[in-house]
Copies of this chain bind each other. A is one copy, B any other.
Amino acid sequence: VYKIGTATPNDVSGLDRLIQKGEINPNSIVGVIGKTEGNGCVNDFTRGYAVSSLQAYLAPQLKDPSQVHRIVYVMSGGTEGVLSPHLTVFTRTEVEEDTIPTSPSLSIGIHHTRDFLVNEVGTRVMIEEVAKGVKSAMKQAGISSEADVHFVQIKCPLVRAADQEPQGDNRNKMDSYKSMAMSRGASALGVALALEEVTEKQLGNGDDVICQDYRLFSKVASTSAGSELRNCEIMVLGNSPESSSDFVIGHDVMQHALDTSAITRAVQQSGGTTGVVGMNDSGNQLVNILCKAEASPTGQILGCRHTMLDDSDISHTRMARAVVAAVVASIVQDPMVYVSGGAEHQGPPGGGPVAAICRRRR
């Protein structure tokens, strides 16, 4: 796991340096999770710009340039407040069988679903396809127990105004910003279904559940919508007994945007220590925090009114990111963290999953 700051959405210089130095073998890259500095909403093209810049850079570096599309790219827009733009690059290599891992450590599985039709986005169909994909990625990661899955990051599509047929009436039209919530919500429920956090029966045909019944949620799903893709790209992160990685992942669930305890617990679970930059006393080093944020749908936080849902100037997902990123960054004293906005069915209403990745001392 490599964390690399970026100067612009199309900045690949940091990655290039690591590849030139031989630290990263480009052929070992399985996924890139990044924060880019667009608005993180419908008309955010920095995500697509970053992905196409990465692909244009990586393709010629690979043995087989066509393999550039096998990598999972999750660009989450929105670096509000202190949130610092960066990429987290995940690599995977086969090791000799006699390298027996002493304890479970980080393992990654990926999956690309098929493209979705416009009217499939945010529906039961999407839940199903994602659930299948999550299971496939778990298998690839060598994770058999749901309890060993600590974070499932998904990039999912949205529906733009122009994607929908111009018609004399407005029936069945979806607001494009709302389509992001529906897509994130269905994807998250797909994770919940795969991990048996919800049942088929609870979901019904999906219509009364998706972005409706927030009592149903996944404790590890993190989904992010964008116009730069039509399918879902899935990355399962967990600890596997078969992995000999130096990294360990832990997670917890924030009950609300100011739930500092959950963040602290996730860090500790991974072996890290809050407030410590660099190595802690155990020789472990926190690499990144991955988490979700949302403006509490009740309009309140800790019993006090917040104004995010009634703000017509700034989208509430932007403000949610600013808040949770500031809280997380203040705890780990590092603003280069991954916080994504819109936590529909990802943790309880107003809260969200939080994961910590730590490099353990060998």
Contacts and interface: CB of A to CB of B under 8 A. Distances in A.
Interface size class of A (residues with CB under 8 A): 35 or more
A108 to B, nearest CB: 25
Interface string A60-95: 000000000000000000011111110000000000
A208 B171 CA distance: 8
B43 A258 contact: no
Nearest to A275: B260
Interface string A299-313: 111101111111111
Contact of A323 (B82, B167, B260, B331): B82
A333 interface: yes
A272 to B, nearest CB: 17
A5 interface: yes
Contact of A169 (B170, B215, B305): B215
B39 A45 contact: no
15 contacts: A37-B45, A42-B310, A43-B307, A43-B310, A43-B313, A52-B53, A81-B319, A82-B304, A83-B306, A162-B299, A162-B300, A168-B215, A169-B214, A170-B211, A176-B309
Given A5-B304, A39-B313, 10 more contacts: A8-B48, A10-B49, A41-B312, A52-B52, A81-B308, A82-B306, A84-B305, A162-B300, A302-B329, A326-B326
